Amino acid sequence: MKRLLIIRFSALGDVAMLVPIVKQLALAYPNWHITMLSRQQTAPLFKDMPNNVHFVGADLKGKHKGIKGLNLLLHDIHYQQFDAIADMHNVLRSKWLCWRMRLIGKRVATLCKGRWQKWLLTHTASNKPLLPTTQRYMRVLQQLGFSFSLSCPSLSQPSRRGYGIAPFAAHQGKIYPLDKMEVVVRELAKSGEPIYLFGAGKKEKEILDAWSDKYENVYSLVGKYAMDEEIAFMRTLRLMLTMDSANMHLASIAGTRVLSIWGATHPNAGFLGYGQRVRDCIQQNDQPCRPCSIYGNRKCKWGDYRCLDIAPHEIVEKLITIYGDTH
C-alpha cells in the first residue's frame, strides 16, 4: 500500500476545510494509506474517516518545538515510509519537514497561497474572487497525480430543527457587535424555535450563559461538548449564524446551511465555508475600505469597524426567511 502524508498545522478553520477533501481522497484511493499531520487539538475533525486515514498530532509548543523538535517529529512519523507529501500549509515548519523529505528523494507538492492576489484584494479596488481554499488544496493533490471529484453537500435538511449562533471569531474585525447580536438573539427567540449558542473559553461562556438565562428558548452549549460532539450537534440544526470563523467551517462539515456575517474580511478571499453560498453572506458591499484584511487582524483605520454596522433586524429577517426556505 502506498503512503501519502498531508501536512496542515493551523488554523482550525483551514484544517476543517481539508476534511471533505481528505475523506473523498481516501474513498477514491482505497489503496493509499493517508496520514494527516496537524496539531493534536484538530484530531476530532478527522474522527469520522475511512479506515485508510490515520491522524497524527504534533506538539509544536512542547515535544516538537523548534528545529530539534521537528526532526524528532520526522522520526516519530517514520518519514522514510511515505511515497508522497502534500504540504497544505507552506510555512517555515512545513517547509523544513518537506526539505528533509526531498533530501531522500520523496515527491513533494506545496500549497500556493496566492499572496499577491490577496494583497491586491486588500490594497486595491480589485474585487475579483480568488480561488477557494478547497480548490487550492485540490491543486496540491493534483500535482501529486491524484484525480477525483469533490461534490458539494446538500444543505437543505427539512427534518432538522433549531438555530445555532456562534457570535465570536479570532479577531475583532470579524465579530459583529455583541450588543447588536444580543438583539438578534432576543428577537429570534420570539419565533419559538430553539436557539443554541456556540463559543469557547471563560469570557465567551459568561456572555452566552447570560443570554441563555435572560431569554426563553435560548441555550448555551459552551463547555458542554467536545469538538466532534459539537459538530454532531450542528448536524441536528436547520441553520447556523456565524462570523467568518472556524464555526462556519465546522457547520459546513456538518452539512448545515450557514448565514455568515463578514466585516473586515470578504468571501472573495477564498475562505467561505465549503458548500456554502455567497448569497447567504451578510456584508456591507458599499464600504470601499473593505476588505482591509484577509484574516480580520488589522485595526480599523476609522476606529469604529463601520463594515460591521448592520442592523439586527436585517439579520433576523434573513435568518427567518432562510429557515423557512429549508422546509
Regions of the chain with pLDDT less than 70 = 156, 326-327
For the CA atoms of 16, 39, 4, 269, what is the dihedral angle to 10 degrees? 40
**Spans of all domains in the chain:** 2-143, 163-325
d(C-alpha 92, C-alpha 192), whole Å: 50
Q: What is the pLDDT of residue 327?
A: 60
Q: What is the pLDDT of residue 156?
A: 67
Across the chain, how many H-helices and E-strands are there?
11, 11
131: alpha, beta or left, given left = phi > 0 and alpha = psi -120 to 50?
Answer: beta
Q: Which of 26, 30, 31 is nearest to 2 (CA)?
A: 31
Q: What is the pLDDT of residue 274?
A: 95
The matching CATH number, chosen from 3.40.50.300, 1.10.10.10, 1.25.40.10, 3.40.50.2000, for 2-143 is 3.40.50.2000
Determine contact, residues 300/282, Cβ cutoff 8 Å: no
Could you tell me the three cell numbers for 124?
486595491
Determine contact, residues 237/211, Cβ cutoff 8 Å: no
CATH class of the region 163-325: alpha beta
Q: What is the pLDDT of residue 127?
A: 82
Q: How far apart are the first and last CA of the chain?
A: 45
Residue 210 neighbours by CB distance under 10 Å: 12
d(C-alpha 233, C-alpha 247), whole Å: 12
| pLDDT, tens only, 58-68 | 999 999 999 99
Among the residues of 172-306, which ranges form H helices?
178-189, 202-214, 227-234, 246-253
Task: Please tell me the pTM assigned to this model.
Answer: 0.95
Q: What is the pLDDT of residue 202?
A: 96
Could you tell me the three cell numbers for 169?
471569531
Sheet holding 2-7, edge to edge: 53-58, 32-39, 2-7, 84-87, 107-110
* 2-143 and 163-325 agree in CATH topology: yes
**Partners of residue 258 on adjacent β-strands:** 240
